[in-house]
Structure 1
Amino acid sequence: MPDGTESESRKLLVRLRDTLAESGAGQERLDKITHLIATSMRTEVCSIYLFRDEETLELCATEGLKPESVHQTRLRLGEGLVGRVARTSEIVNSADAPKEKGFRYMPETGEEAYSSFLGVPIQRLGEPMGVLVVQSKMAREYTPDEVYALEVVAMVLAEMAELGAFIGDGAALKARHQQPVLFRGTIGQEGVAEGHIWLHEPRVVVTNPVAENPEAETERLHKAVGELRVSVDEMLSSAEGGDSEQLQVLEAYKMFANSKGWIRRMEDDIARGLSAEAAVEKEQSVARARLARATDAYLRERLNDLDDLSNRLLRILTGQGRDTGAAMPDDPVLVARNIGPAELLDYGRSLKAIILEEGSVGSHAAIVARALAIPLIVHARNITTEALNGNHVLIDGEQGVVHLRPDEVVVKAFRDKMAMQAAAQQRYASIRDLPAETLCGQRVKLMMNAGLMADLPSLPSSGAEGVGLFRTELQFLVRNQMPKRAELSALYARVLDAAQGQRVIFRTLDIGSDKVLPYMKPNDEPNPALGWRAIRVGLDKPGVLRMQLQALIRAANGRPLSLMFPFIAQIDEFEMARAELDKVLERETKLGHALPETLEVGTMLETPSLAFAPQRFFEMVDFVSIGGNDLKQFFFAADRENERVRRRYDTLNVSFLSFIEGIVNRCRTTKTSLSFCGEDAGRPIEALCFAAIGVETLSMRPASIGPVKHLLRRTNLKELKQVIDASREAGDQSVRDAVMDYMRQQS
């Protein structure tokens, strides 16, 4: 670019900065900016369109169009050329705009006189905020330098909007980070909570997007890049000899940190008037835009690496980040794009709730959140860009809703709901030591699910009669290398000690699908939930399975031991797993180690195929535990990670309930103990129906035991079974309505 053009670009940005520095209301500033841009770029029109909501753009300021159209002209996302820029985040540069596909004429603006059109997105790190447009009567395409200049101005506008530059009387924008916002996400762990935001990765705010001294800014950039390269080299050195996958990621980091093209582009941005951090953020926005369009998995991974590296560089340049000296609030609600299990465990039970922008209901973070009994919402879109440290927040993990900066009406209603739940918990505490015995005299055993040592203290206070599922994979997921047998044995022994003689059922390693060990090479499978996971991994890697079985036997040290194998789909898989256990028992005997006083070996029934296994399968297992979460998604062919389909199918659907009853009858024939384990076991109405059709043991999160026991003790299961049967005979799709009508009559 010629020096003269660079100078003009810098002059425009300096004028823009000076205009923004002047006092005045938001609308006045926007009007000045459109006039400044039109004058500097020698165009007849400059207009700023901003989002009023996720689907609507509004003309908020203009130089050249009819003044009365401001705040009156609105466009839907994707409508017209402006809507196209907003939807695609791509530039539209046309010499003859009326002939462009999707052009929409807006007569109220008087724009029919203007032929040429240049529209660029106003966005901050991929978050769309609006569209900046210039138009001219002369039919021409704008030059690359003009396009670049408008892009840079749009970026500065986004940064200044972030800092609240357009707020005031008659403002075109509402105050960012001050308005109440409602987020709807996916329920990862039920529960309600109130607290204040704690950002896992505090948002970097660029306060000086425009700089007058390119040489000084370039020097700052080079110094920060040098620090970045040193930190990447240190990470590489500490990881040498370790996991190859981690090394590959760090090698990619090093490649980007030393990329001459990346550095040169940022130097060019600085030469045109941006500060060092604004230049980093501009290139980061470009990478994020490419990431949003990329379909190639490898390219997406590399762009993610560049995004993470840009964040590191921004934290070096601004001094902002995790170590800001800010104190975590007393009632922290963690907000993150995503988070690993080890990082989440570092926070521990101090968290009131967790809100993730990404994640999944089966992710490592969700597993840990359930183990810690912390409400979790995932897929809360844009929460990391909207929330600030210390913001007041309400989390309804039963509805999948987050209220950020709620108003007083919402706060009062929410606190009333929490008070009602607290009163109910007091009622549940009064029946903690009483059996879950129904009005018709049927006794139902209620057990709790666990996965961490920290869960075990809640065993006595929950009223549970033991641990129906202890997830052993968490100890594998939170480490960077395979745990040693002695470590696992000591942990399992502490679990049995803490249970104080109550039964604990250990599930062997359930990994694969979305639970990939950090030190295990992930498999690129088209459908991981139906792929290489759980017992399939154990049987293909018998050394790992045998090591875990040895640890369990040594932990028992002569005490009773119950264990079960996950995801058994057919009889031979159980036979092979049992054979591995027999080999371990024989070896432990030869080594002189104490064998369990009693040994119960069961399986989780999570695939429909196992319900139709030969009778000898039900005769050879000591117990069966229905894994409701997986079984339900396979039964209905509805991915439980997919919000579009997972709620379409009711657990109390006649087909599913009849299928469960068929399993009950098979187990009765062979006198095989049966339990139901999963989220639905902890939902009182579903739990009642399972008990009514003959499931005698239910295993759930500790907080659900009180509500389930309370309802069981007030219900006649024989009458409820008649209601269920009548609903089925009537041809109902679900028995829920009939059951709810019956329960209302009893109250």
Structure 2
Amino acid sequence: MDDRFETDSRKLLVRLRDALAEDSAGQARLDRIVGLIASSMRTEVCSIYLFRDPETLELCATEGLEAEAVHQTRMRLGEGLVGRVARSRRTVNSADAPSERGFRYMPETGEERFSSFCGVPIQRLGEALGVLVVQSKEAREFTGDEVYALEVVAMVLAEMTELGAFIGEGAALAARHQQPAMLRGTVAQEGAVEGRVFLHEPRVVVTNPIADDTDAEKRRLNEAIEELRMSVDDLLETNRAVDPEQVQVFEAYRMFANSRSWLRRMEEDIANGLTAEAAVEKEQSLARNRLSRAADQYLRERLSDLDDLSNRLLRILTGQGRETGAEMPENPILVAKNIGPGELLDYGKTIRGIVLEEGSVGSHAAIVARAWAIPLLIRVNRITQEALNGDKILVDAEQGVVHLRPDETVQNAFGDKIAMKNRAQERYASIRDLPAEAKCGTVVSLHMNAGLMADLPSLPSSGAEGVGLFRTELQFLIRNQMPKRAELSALYARVMDAAGGKRVAFRTLDIGSDKVLPYMKPNDEPNPALGWRAIRVGLDKPGVLRMQIQALIRAANGRPLTVMFPFVAQLDEFRAARAEFEKAMERERILGHPLPSDVQVGAMLETPSLGFAPDVFYREVDFLSIGGNDLKQFFFAADRENERVRKRYDTLNVSFLSFLERVIERCDAHGTPLSFCGEDAGRPIEALALAAMGMRTLSMRPASIGPVKHMLRRVNLRDVRAAIDAARDRGEQSVRPAVLEYLRDDGWID
């Protein structure tokens, strides 16, 4: 790069720093800055456009265009060359702007006199803030050095915008992170809660983007890079022995950390006037923009590696990190891009709710959230960019909405919603010890789902008659190596102790699909939900299944034991799994260990095929539990992770209820106990319909037992069944309208 140009670039940044240091309003600063840039770049025009809302850019300052156009000229995202830069987050550099694709003439600006155009995005870590533009009458393309200088200036402008240097009147100059924001996401665990934001990874704030001493900044960068390399080497060696599957990740980290081109680019940024941390962030933003568009999936996946590495380097340089960040506020709502089960469990049940930018409804975080009965929203786009530690936040995990920094009207409405829920909970507490007996005399047994020891105190307070599903995979997912049999046995024994003699149905290890053990080599399957998972893994890896069964037998220590196998699709799978159980029982007998006083071995019906299994299956299995979440996605061929299709299919669809009716009839004919387990069991309308169809045991999260029991005790199930049958006879697709109409006619709902 030209030495004179490096000097000019540094001079411009120094002048910018001085302008930013002046005690003046945000608009005055912007006006001064565009003049400085135009002068330094030797162009007739410099303009700054900022977003006033996610879809609209506004001209906020200009040198060279008509002054009256400031705060009047606006364009949609993608409109004109400025909108094109904002949407693509790529530079547009043209000697003849009017001939460019998408050019739009703005007559109020007077820009028809200018031929050359160069626009660069003002962005920070993937978040577009605006566009910086220079124009000139001379028809010429701007040089690579000039474009580079504009990128450096745009990076400084992004940091200053983040720090509130340009606050003024109007939406485009409004203080960032102070305005109310509503974001939408996907419900992974229902509920409604208010609290304060607690960021899992606090934002690293670069407060000094412009260097005073470039040599000193290069030394800081090199020292930080060396510390980063040593920490990555340590991580690699530590995980090589205990967690071999993570080695590839840290090998990629080491490759990036030792990249000479990465270091050279950052040193060039420093030579042009940026501090070390600003140089790191500039290259991170550019790489994020470049890799996110790569056609190669491998390159796109490397983006997260580079992001993590850059963030580690920024924390070394700034001293900012979780250990020096904000203290956990009262009523904390955890906000993160994503989070593993071990990290989530480290926070404990002090967390009131969780909001994730990524995640899935079957993720580890979702499993823990359901176990804790706390609201969880996933796929909330931009939440980690919008939220700051301590922000007021309302999480409506029923409507799939997050309100950040809500105004008084929204907060009051949400408060009323919470108050109504609290009053309802008081009503539910009054019937806690009463049976779920409908007016027709039918009694439905209500059980709770669990997966952690922390769930078990909810058993007596919820009114549950037992644990219809204890998920055993969490103990495997939260550690970096296979748990020992003695550890599992001790845990299962504590679960039985905490249940106080009530039935606990332990589901054997249900992994695969979206639940992958960190120490088990992942399988590259085109459709994991239909692949090698659950009992299929157990039968192919019988050592793990036997170890878990032995741990359960020893935990029972002479008490009754209930075990069920997940994802059984055919009779032979159940017979093979039960044979493993019998082998384990015989081994324990030979070893002289006490055997369970009573054994119940069941299966989870999660595939339609099992509904059509031979009669002998229904005679051999001790009980069946319908896994509603998986069964519904396979029945309708609708991926439960796919928002575009999963909500199109109703649990109260006539076809689905008719299938369940067939299973109920077959179980009744053979005296096979049957339960329904899943999210739908905990929804009062769905639970009512399931009970009316003949389902006599439902298992759900503890918080759902009160509402379901309250509903069941108010109705006559024979009347509900009559309404369902009438809807089926009329050829209706779903019986939901008929059930709701019955409840309205009887005055149970408005």
TM superposition shift of 1:276:
0.6
d(CA) in 2 for partners of 1:285, 1:730 = 59
| Counterpart in the other structure of 1:285 | 285
Kindly indicate whether the alpha-carbon contact (under 8 Å) linking 2:240 and 2:247 is maintained by their aligned counterparts in 1. Answer: yes
| Counterpart in the other structure of 1:21 | 21
| Counterpart in the other structure of 2:735 | 735
Q: Which amino acid aligns with 1:623?
A: F
| Counterpart in the other structure of 2:414 | 414
Q: 1:185-208, CA deviations, whole angstroms, 9 ceiling, x for partnerless residues? A: 111111111111111111001001
d(CA) in 1 for partners of 2:326, 2:10 = 36
d(CA) in 1 for partners of 2:530, 2:103 = 46
TM superposition shift of 1:298:
2.5
Q: 1:120-152, CA deviations, whole angstroms, 9 ceiling, x for partnerless residues? A: 111100001111111112111110001001111
Q: Is 1:621 equivalent to 2:621 in the alignment?
A: yes
Secondary structure in 1 matching 2:568: coil
1:310-709 matched pairs, under 5 angstroms: 310-324=310-324, 326-709=326-709
d(CA) in 2 for partners of 1:101, 1:524 = 42
Q: Which amino acid aligns with 2:719?
A: E
Q: Which amino acid aligns with 1:113?
A: R
Kindly indicate whether the alpha-carbon contact (under 8 Å) linking 1:27 and 1:170 is maintained by their aligned counterparts in 2. Answer: no
Q: 1:678-705, CA deviations, whole angstroms, 9 ceiling, x for partnerless residues? A: 0000000000000000000000000000
Range with greater deviation from structure 2 (208-217 or 463-472): 208-217
d(CA) in 2 for partners of 1:648, 1:55 = 29
| Counterpart in the other structure of 1:36 | 36
Q: 1:487-517, CA deviations, whole angstroms, 9 ceiling, x for partnerless residues? A: 1111111111111111100000000111111
d(CA) in 2 for partners of 1:278, 1:126 = 15
| Counterpart in the other structure of 2:305 | 305
Stretches (4+) displaced over 3 A? 169-172
| Counterpart in the other structure of 1:48 | 48
d(CA) in 1 for partners of 2:658, 2:200 = 45
d(CA) in 2 for partners of 1:544, 1:78 = 55
| Counterpart in the other structure of 2:185 | 185
| Counterpart in the other structure of 1:148 | 148
Kindly indicate whether the alpha-carbon contact (under 8 Å) linking 1:26 and 1:170 is maintained by their aligned counterparts in 2. Answer: no
1:349–1:171: structure 2 CA closer, same or farther, 3 Å change rule?
Answer: closer
d(CA) in 1 for partners of 2:34, 2:525 = 51
Q: Which amino acid aligns with 1:426?
A: E
Range with greater deviation from structure 2 (169-178 or 576-585): 169-178
d(CA) in 2 for partners of 1:399, 1:66 = 46
d(CA) in 1 for partners of 2:269, 2:530 = 48
TM superposition shift of 1:211:
1.0
Range with greater deviation from structure 2 (571-580 or 717-726): 571-580
Secondary structure in 2 matching 1:179: coil
Secondary structure in 1 matching 2:123: strand
TM superposition shift of 1:238:
2.5
d(CA) in 1 for partners of 2:459, 2:714 = 23
Q: Which amino acid aligns with 2:680?
A: D
Kindly indicate whether the alpha-carbon contact (under 8 Å) linking 2:94 and 2:100 is maintained by their aligned counterparts in 1. Answer: yes
TM superposition shift of 1:325:
5.5
Secondary structure in 2 matching 1:434: coil
Unaligned runs of 5+ in 2: none
Range with greater deviation from structure 2 (250-259 or 356-365): 250-259
d(CA) in 1 for partners of 2:29, 2:742 = 64
Range with greater deviation from structure 2 (246-255 or 194-203): 246-255
TM superposition shift of 1:322:
0.6
| Counterpart in the other structure of 1:274 | 274
TM superposition shift of 1:80:
1.9
d(CA) in 2 for partners of 1:170, 1:680 = 47
Q: Which amino acid aligns with 2:646?
A: R
| Counterpart in the other structure of 1:83 | 83
Kindly indicate whether the alpha-carbon contact (under 8 Å) linking 2:469 and 2:504 is maintained by their aligned counterparts in 1. Answer: yes
| CA root-mean-square deviation | 1.3
Q: Which amino acid aligns with 2:61?
A: A
Secondary structure in 2 matching 1:589: helix
Kindly indicate whether the alpha-carbon contact (under 8 Å) linking 1:166 and 1:172 is maintained by their aligned counterparts in 2. Answer: no
Kindly indicate whether the alpha-carbon contact (under 8 Å) linking 2:52 and 2:172 is maintained by their aligned counterparts in 1. Answer: no
d(CA) in 1 for partners of 2:347, 2:294 = 34
Range with greater deviation from structure 2 (30-39 or 535-544): 30-39
d(CA) in 2 for partners of 1:46, 1:660 = 68
Range with greater deviation from structure 2 (318-327 or 708-717): 318-327
| Counterpart in the other structure of 1:159 | 159
Q: Which amino acid aligns with 1:437?
A: E
Unaligned runs of 5+ in 1: none
d(CA) in 1 for partners of 2:141, 2:452 = 63
TM superposition shift of 1:592:
1.6
Kindly indicate whether the alpha-carbon contact (under 8 Å) linking 2:52 and 2:171 is maintained by their aligned counterparts in 1. Answer: no
Q: Which amino acid aligns with 1:125?
A: L
Secondary structure in 2 matching 1:406: coil
d(CA) in 2 for partners of 1:589, 1:170 = 78
d(CA) in 1 for partners of 2:296, 2:342 = 29
Q: Is 1:215 equivalent to 2:206 in the alignment?
A: no
Kindly indicate whether the alpha-carbon contact (under 8 Å) linking 2:446 and 2:705 is maintained by their aligned counterparts in 1. Answer: yes
| Counterpart in the other structure of 1:712 | 712
| Counterpart in the other structure of 2:264 | 264
| Counterpart in the other structure of 1:246 | 246
d(CA) in 2 for partners of 1:107, 1:635 = 59
Q: 1:457-499, CA deviations, whole angstroms, 9 ceiling, x for partnerless residues? A: 1101100000000000000000110000111111111111111
Secondary structure in 1 matching 2:292: helix
d(CA) in 1 for partners of 2:587, 2:446 = 36
Kindly indicate whether the alpha-carbon contact (under 8 Å) linking 1:10 and 1:212 is maintained by their aligned counterparts in 2. Answer: no
| Counterpart in the other structure of 1:62 | 62
Kindly indicate whether the alpha-carbon contact (under 8 Å) linking 2:628 and 2:678 is maintained by their aligned counterparts in 1. Answer: yes
Identity of aligned residues (%): 75
TM superposition shift of 1:171:
7.4
Kindly indicate whether the alpha-carbon contact (under 8 Å) linking 1:27 and 1:172 is maintained by their aligned counterparts in 2. Answer: no
d(CA) in 1 for partners of 2:711, 2:39 = 73
d(CA) in 2 for partners of 1:80, 1:630 = 47
| Counterpart in the other structure of 1:131 | 131
d(CA) in 2 for partners of 1:116, 1:293 = 27
d(CA) in 2 for partners of 1:228, 1:195 = 36
Kindly indicate whether the alpha-carbon contact (under 8 Å) linking 1:26 and 1:172 is maintained by their aligned counterparts in 2. Answer: no
Q: 1:143-185, CA deviations, whole angstroms, 9 ceiling, x for partnerless residues? A: 0001001111111111000000111346742101111111111
d(CA) in 2 for partners of 1:270, 1:548 = 57
Secondary structure in 1 matching 2:242: coil
TM-score of the superposed pair, with normalisation by structure 1: 0.98
Secondary structure in 1 matching 2:322: coil
d(CA) in 2 for partners of 1:504, 1:430 = 25
1:103–1:170: structure 2 CA closer, same or farther, 3 Å change rule?
Answer: closer
